[in-house]
Chains A and B, each alone.
Chain A
Amino acid sequence: MGTAQTMQPGFLSIRSLTKRYDTMVAVDTLTLEIPKGELVAFLGPSGCGKSTSLRMIAGLCPVTSGTISIDGKDVTRLAPYRRDIGLVFQSYALFPHMTVLKNVMFGLEMRKVPVAEAERRAREAIALVRLEGREDRKPAQLSGGQQQRVALARALVIQPSILLFDEPLSNLDAKLRDEMRAEIRRIQKRLGITSIFVTHDQVEALSMCDKVAVLNGGRLEQIGTPGDLYERPATAFVASFVGRTNRLSGVAEGDRISVGGAALRAPGSRRGNVDLMVRPHRMIMTPAGDKGPDFDGEPLNSIGGEIRDVYYAGDILNYEIQAGDQIISVERATTGGETPMASGSPVTLTWRVADTLVFGAGQ
């Protein structure tokens, strides 16, 4: 479903967008369509080109080739101040010599909105980010979280056609980050502004956004709903970057894959060396010889091994299992009162064939 939607021309349409520096390609033929009102995350490790893409959309970084259009209008070569885009920066970028109110009014002033109306709208935006009463403060008198709210109000008040976020929460502490995530999502939904949210934090991307575009090495690996990415990753990179995963190497022959001594199965059919991935919490561990889970009669894979290490992390127990020459990580929710299984115990790991992801080796 997610992939079908992305084929239609979107409100923001990016075609073959490329940014080349002297010797290095920062963004490589990025193509994607973002429908009106959606919040889309650009997710990837540092240096994957997500920020550069965002800066090209904002007009702050010249495009090498490709096009960007907003609502059917080509803006590829347009100066940033003619693009009607709101941008929220990682380090806030508030004007230090202006009060909160003046900061928020700046964009309206540039649009020649009459002062009285500009002030009314700015006060509304400040109320929207819950900073009433701080209109006359200077940015330096506010906390990091408050400054980022001002930056958000400043970007929102101009009612931009696209709102861009460049890792806006990275400078905030964990608790504030959670609050701000919810706040940004609440406001974005309420105003229905088409938005892009750049982050390297997968939890942020999955929990906040309608869709997530995973970038790696300047290329788009996959775009889809959080569920698509997690359950049906298109590439080995997406599978390992989004969520935790076990990677086993094996040799495929049709739908049969031999991993070490074990014969496993996977959806689809392929041939040759493959990487096989399974999420740690989708594997059920039972003492060797015990009857394993039956998953309502679904086809299952199982592999035998021996517990090598146990880590206690409060909400979960993390077991490391040696299976042949491979190490597999398995998670179990703690229930309280149980005794963790001891290192050295022989165990069997069981999981659904449907939870087995297979990719060409070295992909």
Chain B
Amino acid sequence: MEDRPVSPALKIAAFVMFAFLLAPVLLVVPISFSADSYMSFPPSGWSLRWYIELMDNSRMIGALGTSTLLAVIVMVLAMVIALPAAYAIVRMRVIGGEALLALFTAPLLLPTIVLGLAILIVFAGAGLLATFPGLVIAHLIIVLPYALRVLTTSLSGLPIIMEEAASTLGASPLTVFRRITLPMMMPGMVATAALSFLVSFDEAVISLFLTGPRITTLPVALYQHVENQADPLVAAVSVLLIVLTLAVVLIVDRTAGLTKTFVK
């Protein structure tokens, strides 16, 4: 928006930062097209060998499917739970709303490993270990704080007078929410959906506690694969993940505007 001249020093600093952040990504792409049997840089030959291997690796593909489905379901549930919660806390000012918000966002403060252990103990008793519903619940615990934070911020940033204007024009509270509040919250909701999806898709620590031979997620499968062998298969998976993440970010950018969604 603002056109201020950027000093060369800042440009160089930004370039170095980006190079640092993107180096692993840039490294992983050539490695994924390696013809070698082990990870090395630069590869001695080029091929699509590891992508083909990946397609044939039913464990990886199964984990990818589980992770995607899990992320979508967690995203939808997070939205369904966090949206009314955010509305109640910000707009209806329910008694103890601030305390609720603190409680909902508390999992963010807990070390994930501690949370994972706690969930493991509880789930073991409830028979939820290595089940899909178990994973959904555990991921929701991680994702909800993010969803609630982004949605409450988005909602409290909206001036209430548009909603008041709609109500004086004859709109019932539900209609006001549907016709005025919701459309105005669109950027916040897209951000919440994207963030929820990515946090769930990327989650490894808690999933490690909860997955087993019967069901596993992609990050866990990757981790276990790397533990056993150091072949470029993981690089091929990584490239697929980067592409997927990029796709999500692009969708957000095209529908709601990236800076508007995440920066504001």
Interface hits, B162-185 → A, CB 8 Å? 162, 164-173, 175, 179-180, 183-184
Contact of A87 with B171 at beta-carbon distance under 8 Å, contacts A93-B162, A97-B183 already known: no
Contact A110 B175 (CB under 8 A): yes
Q: A95 to B184, alpha carbons, bound, how many Å?
A: 9
For B95, the chain A residues whose CB sits under 8 A away are none
Contact of A154 with B169 at beta-carbon distance under 8 Å, contacts A91-B159, A95-B180 already known: yes
For A110, the chain B residues whose CB sits under 8 A away are 169-171, 175
Q: A96 to B184, alpha carbons, bound, how many Å?
A: 8
Asked if A58 CB lies within 8 Å of chain B CBs, one says yes
Question: For chains A and B in complex, what number of residue pairs have CB atoms within 8 angstroms?
Answer: 68
Interface hits, A95-116 → B, CB 8 Å? 95-97, 106-107, 110-111
For B169, the chain A residues whose CB sits under 8 A away are 81, 86, 106-107, 110, 154-155, 158
For B180, the chain A residues whose CB sits under 8 A away are 95
Asked if B161 CB lies within 8 Å of chain A CBs, one says yes
For A95, the chain B residues whose CB sits under 8 A away are 162, 165-166, 180, 184
Could you mark each residue 139-177 of chain A with 1 if its beta carbon is under 8 Å from any beta carbon of chain B, else 0? 000000000000100110010000000000000000000
- Taking the nearest CB of chain B, how far is it from the CB of A171, in angstroms? 13
Interface hits, A51-93 → B, CB 8 Å? 58-60, 79-87, 89, 91, 93
For B179, the chain A residues whose CB sits under 8 A away are 106
Contact B161 A83 (CB under 8 A): no
Q: A87 to B161, alpha carbons, bound, how many Å?
A: 11
Contact of A81 with B167 at beta-carbon distance under 8 Å, contacts A96-B184, A97-B184 already known: yes
Task: Specify which of B161, B165, B175, B179 lies most central, judged by the most chain A CB atoms within 10 Å of its CB.
Answer: B165
Contact B167 A93 (CB under 8 A): no
Contact of A81 with B162 at beta-carbon distance under 8 Å, contacts A95-B180, A96-B184 already known: no
Contact of A60 with B175 at beta-carbon distance under 8 Å, contacts A81-B170, A95-B180 already known: no
Interface hits, A20-46 → B, CB 8 Å? none
Q: A79 to B167, alpha carbons, bound, how many Å?
A: 9
Contact B168 A83 (CB under 8 A): yes
Q: A106 to B183, alpha carbons, bound, how many Å?
A: 15
Q: Closest chain B residue to A55 by CB distance?
A: B164
Q: A96 to B166, alpha carbons, bound, how many Å?
A: 12
Residue positions of B touching A, CB distance < 8 A: 159, 161-162, 164-173, 175, 179-180, 183-184, 186
Task: List 4 additional contacts besides A85-B168, A89-B161; criterion CB under 8 Å.
Answer: A83-B168, A91-B159, A96-B184, A111-B170
